[in-house]
Amino acid sequence: MAREKWASKLGFMLAAMGSAVGLGNIWRFSYVAGENGGGAFLLVYLFFVFVIGIPLLLTEVSIGRKAQSDVVGSFAKLSPGTPWFFSGFFGVAASFLILSFYSVVAGWSVYYLWKYVSGDFFTTPEGGYEAAFGGFISHTWQPLFWHALFMVMTIGIVLVGIKKGIEAANKIFMPTLAILLIGLAAYSLTLEGAMEGVRFLFQPNWSALTNPAVYLAALGQAFFSLSLGMGAMLTYGSYLSKENKLPSATIGIGVMDSFFAVISGIVIFPAVFAFGINPSSGPPLVFITLPGIFDQMPFGGIVGLVFFFALALASLSSAISILEVPVAYFMRIFHWSRKMASVLTGSIMFLLGLVVSLGYGVLAGVSPIGDRDIQESMDFIASNILLPLGGLAMALFVGWYFKKATALEATDLTGNAFGPIWYGIVKYIAPVLIILIFLNAIGLLGM
Ligand code: TRP
């Protein structure tokens, strides 16, 4: 059977943007930026996106397009008889870790959407939103229902296939999402006291930069947000043909992704400050703080409904790209049908997600890494370690294993003025920066 393909380059771009823009831009970005100093974090994050992220995005997509295979198969095909394919296993492992918690949190947003649709959250629930959220996530089976529902939707799209499933869904999701988020941001800016939030987001507090943890957090956020280092973009790239030029496409994806991170910052922080809330309130920021704020706004019920609809949509278009990584791999090695691979893989992720979800209920207090709960520990291992390592492997593969001419050709940069810049980044700058940030974070450099 011929390998599936995107119907158009635009279809690929929308799918890749759909992958990039998700909970990472809205839920994760807002609390990580809030915890790491706001404006200063934004600067470091944007620096990483443009200097490391976008060049690596081009690198990752080009590996997939050249090899026309999944994340393990691509390395194996391009470097037969070498151990490079091991880096693909990191990607497959990361996909299980990430989607199992991603689906739990996305399930929360679908639940919130439901609470707004039904009108329950139009007025403060008894005991306030904090108690409502706490009660919901610590409930044993309630969040599991929404986690299951979200996983079923994800599987439902992936099993239909590339063109009719993933591409078609993103063609509807992405324009809708853009309109909703821009509308919300414009509304947020009209709130009284909004400027304080804008200042928090855009005015760097330089003292935050002395903390080495900020760099690791910003690097992890850049990778997570661009869907980088796991093979999601590689797998999407493998459904492209040689005629579709990569550099413009990947710059477009990276710019759109940062644009959406900034836009959701503009949705969230003005509202946070306008209502005198502490921006560093961590992962619950979006689920406790925002509903409380919506409640006090004119038309808040509608704003809440639109916000959680956008969040659910953004999560779904990202989740399908995470599921596609192991699905493409299992279809090839086990000769499973797409249907079988999607249902089986998605079900395993659902089961892993049970542990994440119960981590807020009966397993509360379990903290595998430092003071992180189960979800934060899985996120930490995946985003701050596996993704940068995966990105490092891809950079070394294209920068050092490929000949220079091969690397430039694979990325459509032959004869392009940006070719040497990209090559220098991928060969030296990105690997060195990633390694430095790791060492720095472990404290080896004592900085
Ligand atoms: N980038 C998505 C977000 O911001 C999440 C995501 C999708 C992802 N695919 C990925 C993260 C691959 C890491 C790797 O929500």
Residue from 427, 370, 429, 36 nearest 213 by CA: 36
Is the separation of the CB atoms in 325 and 91 below 8 Å?
yes
HSE (side-chain half, CA atoms, 13 Å) at 118: 9
The helix/strand count (H/E) of the chain reads as 22, 0
How far is it, in rounded angstroms, from Cα 26 to Cα 46?
15
What's the 16 CA to ligand 1 centre distance in angstroms? Answer: 10
Mutate to test the pocket of ligand 1, among 234, 322, 381, 383 (most ligand atoms within 8 A of CB): 322
Tell me the Ramachandran region of residue 369: left when phi exceeds 0, alpha when psi lies from -120 to 50, beta otherwise: beta
What's the 198 CA to ligand 1 centre distance in angstroms? Answer: 26
Is the separation of the CB atoms in 217 and 32 below 8 Å?
yes
Q: Encode pLDDT of 363-372 as tens digits.
A: 888 888 888 8
Atom number in ligand 1 closest to CA 229: 14
pLDDT confidence of residue 228? 96
Beta bridge mates, 372 = 369
HSE (side-chain half, CA atoms, 13 Å) at 158: 33
The SS3 call for residue 418 is coil
Decide if pLDDT at 3 tops 70.
yes
Confidence of residue 2 (pLDDT cuts 50, 70, 90): confident
Confidence of residue 380 (pLDDT cuts 50, 70, 90): confident
Q: How many CB atoms lie within 10 A of CB 142?
A: 16
* C-alpha distances out from residue 288 to 31, 132, 314, Å: 12, 8, 19
Give the DSSP per-residue string, 97-155.
HHHHHHHHHHHHHHHHHHHHHTTGGGSPPTTHHHHHHHHHHHSSSHHHHHHHHHHHHHH
What's the 119 CA to ligand 1 centre distance in angstroms? Answer: 31
Mutate to test the pocket of ligand 1, among 230, 236, 258, 320 (most ligand atoms within 8 A of CB): 230
Atom number in ligand 1 closest to CA 29: 4
Decide if pLDDT at 443 tops 80.
no
pLDDT confidence of residue 1? 65
pTM for this entry: 0.94
Atom number in ligand 1 closest to CA 314: 15
Ligand 1 pocket (Cβ < 6 Å) reads 19-20, 22-25, 98, 224-225, 227, 230, 232, 318, 321-322, 387
Q: Show the 3-state SS of 227-260.
A: CCCCCHHHHHHCCCCCCCCHHHHHHHHHHHHHHH
Decide if pLDDT at 184 tops 80.
yes
How far is it, in rounded angstroms, from Cα 136 to Cα 133?
5
Q: Encode pLDDT of 326-360 as tens digits.
A: 999 999 999 999 999 999 999 999 999 999 999 98
pLDDT confidence of residue 447? 45
Q: Encode pLDDT of 132-179 as tens digits.
A: 999 999 999 999 999 999 999 999 999 999 999 999 999 999 999 999
Residue from 150, 166, 137 nearest 23 by CA: 150
* C-alpha distances out from residue 319 to 346, 437, 443, Å: 10, 28, 34
Measured at the alpha carbon of residue 155, what is the angle toward residues 152 and 161, in degrees to the nearest 5? 150
Atom number in ligand 1 closest to CA 319: 7
